[in-house]
Every structure is written in structure tokens, then in C-alpha cells.
Structure 1
Amino acid sequence: MTDTALVVGGTRFIGRHTVSDLLANGYDVGMLNRGNHENPFADDGRVTHIEGDRTDERDLRAAKLSTEPDVVIDCVAYHPRDVETAVDVFGDVDGYVYVSSGSSYAEEAIPKREGETPLRPCTPEQATDESGETYGNRKAEGDRVAFAAAEAGVNAMAVRPCVVYGPHDYTERLDYWIDRVLTHDRVVVPGDGQNLWHRAYVEDVASALRTVAERGEPGAAYNVGDRRALTLAETVETVAEAAGTECEAVPASADALAAGGLDPDDFPLYREYPHLLDTCALAALGWESTPVDEAMARTVADHRESDRDGNEWDPGRDAEERVLGVKETL
């Protein structure tokens, strides 16, 4: 008998790839979302679309009744109350997986480890906030809700991705760097180029969610990220190689950036202190990541076919040119 998975979300990025991964592994799939975005699975008879609001308990229960899922992947739980409702509604499924975040960690450890590195606190005010500043706090509290549910007998688990990239990435953070590499032969990289913000290829996140749903331990969290983490300078080099072009990554100190009126934080995917997640617990379940060169090649190919350019992250090429000019005189 074919197993059924319910994906809460499912049409944009992580959810979209999760549906594809589940289908490729023999599942029938239900998707619960509001229908605000084009459904890429509209013509696939194995995918049932249920239109509804995941913040409405009645819609969650209706989705459960219509799909009778064996496992549930919850991609769009952004507040602790969302997780509280979900673990109640789906308390009897074989596996409920809450998509958390690497930003739930409170301390700057290298690497950050599940069950060892402390999580962020979450006040009642933060739990209902909508701003980006409390995202990590809310995700951490969702983890704690899932863990408490597991203690009460629910097969609830959490997966913590770091920054996710790959085809259909609507955040366009990596698209900025791909566009720069495709457009110019020299690009400014803030700092010494060795800053590291761990990333996770989206297809690997999708397979991690399925793997944890099938084989994870209730009450556990699992980090997911590329098994080979790239510095920002290495990212530019890997993009150039994938694109079949040449591009020089030019490191620029804070003083050099100031010549162009820029700051290191003006650049996407820059992080002063390294952010690295330990992925050994996930690997122990049999999960493997895509080689980063292959993942980047797929990402660059998708970028070229899309209209994404990362423009919203652009600090300004004129300012960048001024920095490059200063570097040439040093």
C-alpha cells in the first residue's frame, strides 16, 4: 500500500522540492496551502491540493481527513502556536516533521550541535511577533513545542536547515552572487573572503525532511547543511566554475568598503562570525548531501532560466567600482 504524505506549504521553494522528493520516493502527496501561488503539480494525479489556511485548525483537520497522511511535513509553521495546533491535529501520524531553522541557536559555537548548543529564548511577545528580528526565537520555541509533544507520545521531530539555496529560491540571496559572476569579471567580497555562512542545497533539505519523517527519533532535532561548507570567496569561485566563466573575488576590508560608502553587512550571505552546523546526526540516518559542485551547477542553470537577479540585495555596482578602484591603488 502506498504511503501518503501531507506537506503544509508545497508550491514555492522548500515545500515544492519536498513534494517532488516524496513523489520520487513513491508517496502519494497532499498539499495544504492558501493557493496564492501557482501550483507546479496541478497536472500530477498523485498530488491532492487542499486549499486552506494552516493557521486555521479546521483547515488542518480537513486536510487530515481528506488525505489520511502517514507523515506530515510542516514547512510554514512560523509561530509556536502553529506547532501547538499541528502536534494536536496530527498527534497520531507516523511522523510529524517541523521545519525549524539554524537561526534557533542562541550561541555562536563552531559547529552548532543539536542537543548541545543552547536555543534562543522566546518571550510571549516574541512568540506572536511578525518581524524578522524574532524569527529565530519563534523557531526555537517551535522546537520546544515539538519536543514536549514527543514526550507526550507524538512522533514529532524538528529539522534545522541553515541558509537554503537552489532552484526556485525566491529569496534571491545567492542569485545576487550568481548575477554578479555572470555579469562582471571582478566582484567585491566583503572582509577577507573567508567568512562562512553554512548553506543547504534545497533538494538535500527535502530529502532530509523525508528521511527524518521515516527514520528520525521522536523528540530529536536534525541539522541539515552542505557536507562541504563554502566560504564566500569559494562560493564566487564555485559559481564561476559552474557557469563556465572567470571571475575574480576581490576581498575588501571595512576601510576599503567605506571608500564606496559600503559596509560588510550590505552584502548578502555575509556573516562576520562563522555559522556552521554539525550534520552528523542526520547523516547517521542514512542521509547524504549532493556534492556542492553539482548542487551549484543546478542552481546556476536554474538562475539562467529564471528572471531572478538578486537586485534587492544589490549594494550598487557604482559603489563596488569605487571600492575596486581603491583596491587597485593599494
Structure 2
Amino acid sequence: MILVTGGAGFIGSNFVLDWLAQSDEQIINLDKLTYAGNLQNLAPLSQDSRHIFVKGDIGDTQLVSQLLPQYQPRAILNLAAESHVDRSILGPEDFIQTNILGTFRLLEATHAYWRELESAAKQSFRFLHVSTDEVYGSLRKDESAFTEAHRYEPNSPYSASKAASDHLVRAYHHTYGLPILTTNCSNNYGPFQFPEKLIPLMIVNALAGKSLPVYGDGQQVRDWLYVADHCSAIRRVLERGTPGETYNIGGWNEKPNIEIVQTICSLLEESYPNTNFHNLITYVQDRPGHDRRYAIDATKIERELDWRPVETFATGIRKTIQWYLNNRQWVTDVQTGAYQEWIKTHYAGLQS
């Protein structure tokens, strides 16, 4: 079996569902169930013996140290993280606690477990750490995309905390020999994404007739990766990746934020032909330290592991919008008082 941390979050729940759709290998799913963790995402697995859910924190050394010898996973996939830049600007401490201290404690427990394994199990064991392209900083318009050799230059509390976790993972490989794999992905989108991130926020607000807040001039460029493609890449890295290596995972879809918002409006207008969603676009004051451009060069994973994304942005965004149209109750259920308070606090007074 494998152990997945953060398996009730956006990427994590998609990975768990995808894994069990293709394999009978059991998953231990360790998730703290913060605001973005949602067991409703995993409802199809509620009676599935292949899925063992444990509510807990990766920073709980005692709990993790009990789970590992109890279930004896052949691999640990660390997807647990605080991951929203805006939230990290307003309150960075949670990011330090989870992304840095939590990863450290998980590594400590994993190292203690791994060194006691018998030779064959020890050799085949893997610790796969899922990270972000934001650790590389910001690119100019004419600069080449991030490769795995790009220097780390994080610019937000979130990206700095993820960079620190990447360095810890690397250190545990080089110092202790722990067989680690690191992936740095571009912006994900797709089903189950909490509606604080750009794409689901625009979809949900548009359907509610609310303003569509676009930071600054909207020309910030991101590379967009459909979440199912990300899940397939993680599986491929786990299966074939070389211990100690880093693999960048991207969608080959660089687009400015304003184009993303306009595309969503146009596609929604196909379903609601008498509604002008473009009129809802509202430019707001840019956030502090907003990185201008991210771009992933995913050549290495294609060359070495024979992986490429299946979805283009055109196909992926249609699937995503349709999912949100078909799952209005999910959206209603996750928009708790805490969510509403965050939106109110963050966007109050930002009209430019």
C-alpha cells in the first residue's frame, strides 16, 4: 500500500480517486481536514476497503510514527500543504507550520521507519514530495521557462515555505540516503478545487452574478495544468523516477490571467446565451509582490519518463466548467462562513 498525505484536498483527492480507479493497491489517506480538505470529495470511496482515511497532521510525529509500522507503506506521497499565496500574505504562520515544520517531522518519522526496513523493501521504498513552480520566482516575458536546474528565488511566504520544504527533502536524500523524488508543478485546475483560486472563483462568482476580481492589469502569466494530468505525472514519477531527482510537471499552456477569465466568460455564455458575463470583470488593486510570469519546461519528464499532458487548456477548461455546473451543491457546501469571511476581508476596498 501507499500513504498519501493531504489526500482530501484538491490535488490529493483527485489523486486518490484516480489511483483507486486504476489500481487495487490500498491507500492510507492522512489529512488534517483544514478548510480546503473535504471528505465529500471522496464520497465514492466511503465503503471502499482500499481507502483508509486517518484524520491527522503530518506534523504529529507520534501519529505518523504509529501509522508507518502499522501499515508498512511502500511509498509516501506528500501532498499536504498550505497552498494559497493570498492567504500566506495575510497569515504566513500556518504555512511555516505545515509546509516547513510539518514536512520536517514527516521526514523524521519516514527516515526512522525506512532505516529499519529489510533490504529489498528499503531499496524499493520512495518518498515523493509534491511542490510548486513558484519556488523558482518570477520570469520576465522573454526568459526561458523554468527547468529543474533553475535557481530558487521564492517571492511570497507560501513559495518560501515550499522552497524550504524542498530543501529539507533534498537534504534527507543527500545526508541520510532517503530515496526521495520531488515534483514541481505549474498551476493546477479541475474538479474539487476550492473556490479561492482563480478559475473556480471566476466560475462560482459568474454563476452567482458577482464581480470577477482581476488583479492589476491581468497580464500575469501562468502555465496551466489539468489536475488529472498532474495525477498521471505523479504516478509516472513514482513508478519510474530516479531517487534524488526533481521533475518539473507542466501543461505547456502559458496564458495571462485576463485571458483565462475571458475564456471562462465566453464558455459560460454558451450555456447561458442571454447573459453577458464579461460585464462582471472588475480590475482590483494588485496583491503585494505579485510574480509576473511562471512557465514550466517539462522536457525532462517527457524525455526520461515518457510523460506528456493529455489535456490542452481548451479541453481541460471545458471539463472544469462543466464539473462546476454539475456540482452546484458541492460549491454551496464548501462556501462556509470561514470562506465568506475570507473573501470579505481580502477583497474589501480593493476596487481600483
8 Å contact 1:104–1:119 — kept in the other structure? Answer: yes
Letter in 1 for 2:16: V
2:12 is paired with a residue of what secondary structure? helix
The answer to whether the Cα contact below 8 Å between 1:148 and 1:219 also exists between their aligned partners in 2 is: no
Does 1:11 find its partner at 2:4?
A: no
Aligned to 1:274: 293
Distance 1:90 1:14 in 2: 26
Distance 1:217 1:169 in 2: 30
Structure 2 match to 1:145? 168
Q: 1:286 aligns with which of 299, 306, 317?
A: 306
8 Å contact from structure 1 (residues 5, 22) kept in 2: no
Change (3 A) 1:86 1:97: farther
- Tell me the distance in 2 between the aligned counterparts of 1:35 and 1:197: 28
- 1-side partners of 2:8 and 2:67: how far apart? 16
Deviations 1:215-270 (A, max 9, x none): 112222222232222222331343245432565758x9xxx96xxxx42449xxx9
In structure 2, relative to structure 1, the CA distance for the partners of 1:234 and 1:62 (3 Å cut) is: same
Alignment partners' CA distance in 2, 1:47 and 1:95? 20
Please, which moves more after superposition, 204-213 or 32-41?
A: 32-41
**Matching of residue 160 in structure 1 with residue 184 in structure 2:** yes
Matched with 1:204 is 229
Whole-angstrom CA distance in 2 between matches of 1:210 and 1:90: 23
RMSD across aligned positions (CA):
3.6
Could you tell me whether the CA contact under 8 Å between 2:195 and 2:201 is conserved in 1?
Answer: no
Aligned equivalents of 1:35 and 1:183: distance in 2? 27
Kindly state the Cα deviation for residue 98 of structure 1 after the two structures are TM-superposed.
0.8
1:28 match = 26
Residue 19 of structure 1: CA displacement?
A: 0.7
Q: CA deviation at 1:112?
A: 4.4
> Aligned pair in 2 of structure 1 residues 114, 217: CA closer, same or farther (>3 Å)?
farther
Q: TM-score scaled by structure 2?
A: 0.71
Q: 1:198 and 1:95 mapped to 2: Cα distance?
A: 28
Distance in 1, matches of 2:230 and 2:112, equals 24
In the TM superposition, what is the alpha-carbon distance from 1:272 to its structure 2 partner? 6.0
Structure-2 separation of matches of 1:86 and 1:200: 32
Question: What are the Cα deviations for residues 42-100 of structure 1, in whole angstroms up to 9, with x where unaligned?
Answer: 21121122343321223223222233222211111511523532541453352211122
Q: Residues 237 and 5 of structure 1: is their aligned pair in 2 closer, same or farther, counting only changes over 3 Å?
A: same
Alignment counterpart, residue 46 of structure 1, candidates 42, 46, 50: 50
For residues 232 and 242 of structure 2, the distance between their equivalents in structure 1, rounded to whole angstroms, comes to 16
Kept in 1, the 8 Å contact 2:7–2:80? The answer is no
Indicate whether 1:300 and 2:321 are aligned.
Answer: yes
Among candidates 136, 160, 180, match of residue 159 of structure 2: 136
Aligned residues of 1:102 and 1:162 also touching (Cα < 8 A): yes
Residue number in structure 2 paired with 1:102: 133
2:200 equivalent in structure 1: 175
> Is contact 2:266–2:277 with CA below 8 Å preserved after alignment?
no
Hey, what's the Cα distance between the residues in 1 that align with 2:20 and 2:262?
A: 34
Of 211, 224, 234, which residue of structure 1 is paired with 2:249? 224
What residue is the counterpart of 2:117 in the other structure?
Answer: none
Note the alpha carbon deviations across 1:186-242, whole angstroms, 9 max, x for none.
967566654312233222222222221111122222222322222223313432454
Residue 46 to residue 106, structure 1, CA distance change in 2 (3 Å): same
Q: Which runs of 5+ in 1 are unaligned?
A: 122-131, 324-330
CA contact (8 A) 2:5 2:78 kept: yes
Residue 263 of structure 1 aligns with which residue? Answer: 285
Residue pair 2:233, 2:249 contacting (<8 A) in 1 also: yes
Q: Verify the 8 A CA contact 2:138 2:292 in the aligned structure 1.
A: no
| Identical pairs, percent | 21
State the secondary structure of the residue aligned to 2:181.
Answer: strand
User: What whole-Å deviation, never above 9, does each CA across 1:158-205 have from its counterpart, x for those lacking one?
Assistant: 112233222111143222222455466996756665431223322222
Single out whichever of 107-116 and 307-316 deviates more from structure 2.
307-316
Aligned length: 298
Secondary structure of 1:96's counterpart equals strand
TM-score by length of 1: 0.75
